[in-house]
Structure 1
Amino acid sequence: MTATTLALIGVFVANRIARPMRRLAGAAEALGRGQSIEALPETGPDDIRRTTEAFNRMQARLTRFVEDRTRMLAAISHDLRTPLTSLRLRAEFVTDADAQQRMMATIDEIQTMTEAALAFAREESVTEATRAVNLTALIESLCDDLADLGQKVRFLDSPKINYRCRPDGLRRAARNLIENALRYGGEARVQLDEKPSMVQIVIEDSGPGIAEEDFERVFEPFFRLESSRNRETGGVGLGLSIARATVRHHGGDITLSRMPRGLRATIALPRSHRGL
Structure 2
Amino acid sequence: MSTPDSDAPISPLAGLGIAVLAVSTSAILVRWSAAPSLVKAFYRVLFTVALLAPVALVRHRDALATISGRDLLAAGGAGVALAAHFASWFESLNHTTVAASVTLVQSQPLFVAVGAWAVLDERVSRRTAVGIGVALAGMALMSVSDFLTAGGAPRPLLGNGLAVVGAVTAAAYVLTGRSVRSRVSLVPYVVVVYSVCAAALLVVAVGRGDPLTGYPPREWLLFLGMAVGPGVFGHTVINWALAHLESSVVSVSLLGEPVGSTILALFLLGEIPTLPTVLGGAVVLGGIYVSAS
TM-score when normalising by structure 2: 0.31
Rg comparison, structure with higher value: 1
More strand by share: 1
Higher relative contact order (CA 8 A, sep 6+): 2
Higher helix content, 1 or 2? 2
Q: With structure 1 as the length reference, what TM-score do the two structures score?
A: 0.32
